Amino acid sequence: MLRDLRKTIGIGLISGALSTAGMASAEEVTRSTLSAGSLGAGWYVMGTAMAKEWADEMDNLEVTVTTGGSIININKVAAGGTNLGFTLNPALHDAMDGKGQFEGKADEYQSVRTVFSWPGSVIQLVVLGDSGIESIADLEGKRIAVDAKGGSMINITSAILEEHGVTKDNSDFRFVSARDAADQLRNGHIDAAFWGSAPPYAVVSDIALYKDIRMLEVQDEETAKRITDRLPGAAVVAIDQDVYGENQLNSDPVEAIGFNMSIIAHEEFDEELMYEAVKALFSNLDEFASVSAMTARVTPEGAVFNNAAPLHPGAARYFKEVGVLK
């Protein structure tokens, strides 16, 4: 059960906690880190809920949520040990294929495994209502928050911008966190900002409380196809024109780019312990779904769909058990 979110869980990582011999005994506690995203952002909230669920349901697993970003998290997991991590599936595709920021390094990431995936992230591109910016192409020469350094959204946001003629050479790309991007946009220090999350996203809602905003969309089907061809697993999704309330100036649904996200682990993370962890989480999915818009998108069926890396054997065992994986 998801009990009091203030409950304290163990901190740290036990050296050698990884076991390849089978089930961890009741006396052995594996302490793991779950690398999420920016403090207070969607991944961090979801990760905290997962950690509390495991603390309530399991005596042999303690999980500490830490900040991070897709690229950082993939690297941590690939290094081995009991680290878990959030990632965007296009970034994980790149790692497994040795492309983009992982150019020529595919061999380093073949040990990464998916725990589960879910359709949860939409790339939201926001400008202030009085900016005079009506389209993505209008961002040429402007100051744009594309993501924090180390975040995989840099590849994604760059692809979206480049397919509209906006590049790091003709514009001013800023590398800041989600919260900093919101503060800078609100205060006029940047002209536009990207966020990857299920809408409504809290930091954008905060801006829309006091400022008129406009969400920018992909300009046409041909451009959308070029973007999705560059980003495996991506698709065009519609965001409601009033998802951020009366201060959102869009008159029609906004065509944006969305894609799956995943929790990942190293292939040597103990199989029995992984099975228990996935079972504990998905056996209490109704309560977990109530935590946020993102957790509400997690389902057993979606967990095994469009994975960017093979399922971890412990996770695969659970999903076969419940009939969503053959």
Residue 229 is assigned to a structural domain of this protein: yes
Residue 23 is assigned to a structural domain of this protein: no
Q: Report the C-alpha gap between 154 and 280 in whole angstroms.
A: 34
pTM: 0.71
Residues 204 and 291 in one domain: no
Q: In the listed set 259, 274, 305, which residue is the last one of a domain according to the structure?
A: 259
SS3 state at 151: coil
Count the domains in the chain. Answer: 2
Task: Indicate whether 19 pLDDT > 60.
Answer: no
Residue 190 is assigned to a structural domain of this protein: yes
Residue 16 is assigned to a structural domain of this protein: no
Q: What is the pLDDT of residues 33-74, one digit of tens each?
A: 999 988 878 899 999 999 999 999 999 999 999 998 889 999
Residues 105 and 155 in one domain: no
Helix axes 153-162, 221-230, angle to 10 degrees: 150
What is the structure's pLDDT at 69?
86
Helices marked H in 193-242: 202-208, 221-230
Nearest to 180 by CA among 190, 165, 168: 190
Residues 304 and 255 in one domain: no
Residue 20 is assigned to a structural domain of this protein: no
Q: Look up the domain containing 289 and give its range.
A: 30-118+261-321
Q: Report the C-alpha gap between 77 and 71 in whole angstroms.
A: 10
Residues 87 and 108 in one domain: yes
CATH number at residue 134: 3.40.190.10
* Tokens representing residue 39 in the block: 């403090």
- Percent share of the chain, pLDDT over 70: 91
Residue 4 is assigned to a structural domain of this protein: no
Q: In the listed set 259, 276, 294, which residue is the last one of a domain according to the structure?
A: 259
